Amino acid sequence: MTLSHIEGLLVRICSGQPAEVGLQEWPQLYRLACIHEVDPLVVWTLREAWRDRANDLTDQLEGIFALNVIAQRLMDAEVIQIHRVFAGVPCLVLKGPALASLYFPPGARLQRDIDLLVADSDYEVARNRLQSIGYRFMDGYSESVQRESARDVGFIRDDASGTQFSVEIHWRLGEPDAVELDPRRVWDRSRHVVIEGANLRTPGPEDTLLLLAFNLRKHRFARLKTLVDIDRLIRHEKVDLEMAHAEAHTLGVCNTLRLALELCRGVLNSPNPEMPFCGRADSVRSRLLRRVVDPEAVMAAGRPEGAYLKVAGLVPFLSLDSWGATAGMARRRLTLTPELASYRAGAPGMYPNRRRYLASVAMQVARAAPDVGRRLRSRPEVATSDAEIVNEMQKPLRTVQSTPNLKP
């Protein structure tokens, strides 16, 4: 993995390795940490390492750390308030608050929102109770569209001091058009987590690992923050990888989970053991995925002009274990209504008709094709012949082309 000096410092700090940071390097390091959303961890680590120093930088670190601790306490207090308002409505705390409490020192993990899982039948009660304490729908959100085709609905609230809180109520776990965990099974395997003295519930270690792998896949594996979360989980828990692998195998995302763990080892030197071997581990599809996503892809957010971002759109398709599942996902996306496609793009009215939407998709594919070809042939250490590449890449295309009702 080829990293710049500043990227190398950031990775060493995130993995818990010693890193000597000079006063001249700090502004660049902090800026990059903010881009990757790991700045609280960097601040906490350097503050701990430099306790015996006294200079302008240590003063800055103390000030930033104090603000991070306050932000986390405010977020935790909001979680407790919502938990009380939800009395009688069972819910699981997902991601941020639970991960911060279980695996990070106070003030060392950034939390942008609060994710809660409720039963689908409890959604309306949960929504009404959120609204009773001042929450409103996020701008641009359509509740009816989200309920029909997505997995969550977002809400925001501004308190008297101007602090804004964001909550997402989930009734699904995963991506509706790709892969989902069964919420009932996750409930059955859930565990306790203590936040601000309150006893709440959160998914168990194996389900948390799978959800983090899904999140990494959603972000095309270009998310250092999620990789750090996985690393912390692995270091603090005895995760049953056989169980996690069996679930991933059933869901058809062995390659996603395996790659997430490989990236943890390659980028953060995680001590995680190998996943159980299965036939999908060395499939052409798995090798294609590893050609596209290498450890440097994790740093793509800080490299806006990098080559990886040009081909990252391929990742959600390659990271499913079978071409049948990939073709099904492609088919579902191609058959979106213009209204729903515009909504998912975050620009209502972007596609006035079906012809415009399909033309946009075709243009995106055409623009990415040369970069995809170069990327697939750029890593000879991941053995896959050109003939295999061509044959495998044509499979989902043939399936999609055979789908009826795809004409504009």
Domains and their CATH numbers in the chain:
72-203 (3.30.460.40), 204-408 (no CATH)
**Gap between the Cα atoms of 159 and 71, Å rounded:** 13
Give the 3-state secondary structure of residue 8.
helix
pLDDT of res. 24: 87
**What pLDDT shows up at residue 295?**
86
* CA dist list (Å): 4 to 9, 20, 32, 205, 306: 9, 15, 11, 33, 13
Residue 170 forms beta bridges with which residues? 117, 152
**Whole-number Å distance between alpha carbons of 127 and 136:** 9
Given a contact cutoff of 8 angstroms between Cβ atoms, the answer to whether 126 and 86 are in contact is yes
Q: Which two tokens stand for residue 111?
A: 């939390």
* pLDDT score recorded for residue 388: 55
CB-based contact 43:65 (threshold 8 Å): yes
What pLDDT is recorded for position 377?
63
What is the spatial distance between Cα 33 and Cα 66, in angstroms, rounded to a whole number?
A: 17
Is the per-residue pLDDT at 126 higher than 80? yes
Q: What is the mean pLDDT of residues 228-235?
A: 96
Under 8 Å CB-to-CB from 298, ≥6 apart: which residues? 221, 222, 223, 224, 227, 263, 267
* Residue given tokens 């710049």 in the structure block: 4
Cβ atoms within 10 Å, residue 398? 10
Q: Give me the percent of the chain exceeding a pLDDT of 70.
A: 88
Tell me the average pLDDT across 321-350.
Answer: 78
Q: Tell me the average pLDDT across 138-146.
A: 82
**Does pLDDT of 33 surpass 50?**
yes
- Joined together, the tokens standing for residue 156 give 């925001």
pLDDT of residue 408: 38
Residue 393 has pLDDT above 60, yes or no: no
pLDDT at 142: 81
Question: Exposure string (b/e) for 290-328, b if CB count within 10 Å is 16 or more?
Answer: bbbbbbbbbbbbbbeeeebbbbbebbbbbbbbebebbbb
**Length reported for the chain:** 408
Question: Lowest-confidence range among 116-120, 199-203, 220-224, 324-328?
Answer: 324-328
Q: Per residue in 55-65, pLDDT tens?
A: 778 888 999 99
Q: Where are the alpha helices (DSSP H) in 86-116?
A: 96-103
Averaged over 261-280, what is the pLDDT? 87
Mean pLDDT of 290-319: 82
Residue pair 393/327 in contact by the 8 Å Cβ criterion:
no
- pLDDT band of 372, cuts 50, 70, 90: low
Cα–Cα distance between 219 and 288 in angstroms, integer? Answer: 18
Tokens encoding 8: 């190398």
pLDDT recorded at residue 394: 52
Residue from 287, 279, 272 nearest 241 by CA: 272
The lowest-confidence range among 83-92, 257-266, 354-363 is 354-363
pLDDT digits (tens, 9 = 90+) for 144-177: 888 888 889 999 999 888 889 999 999 999 876 6
pLDDT at 385: 54
The model's confidence at residue 387, banded by pLDDT at 50, 70 and 90, is: low
Its pTM surpasses 0.85: yes
What is the arithmetic mean of pLDDT over 19-44?
92
Of 77-81, 319-323, 395-399, minimum mean pLDDT range: 395-399
| φ, ψ dihedrals at 195, nearest 5° | -125, 120
Q: What is the pLDDT of residue 161?
A: 85
Say what the pLDDT of residue 324 is. Answer: 78
- pLDDT the model gives residue 400: 46
- C-alpha torsion angle, residues 336, 342, 346, 349 (rounded to 10): -160
Cα angle 10-11-17, degrees, rounded to a multiple of 5: 100
pLDDT of residue 376: 62
Q: Where are the beta strands (DSSP E) in 123-197?
A: 136-137, 152-158, 164-170, 173-175, 179-181, 191-195
Let me know the angle formed at the C-alpha of 204 by 201 and 207, rounded to the nearest 5 degrees.
Answer: 125
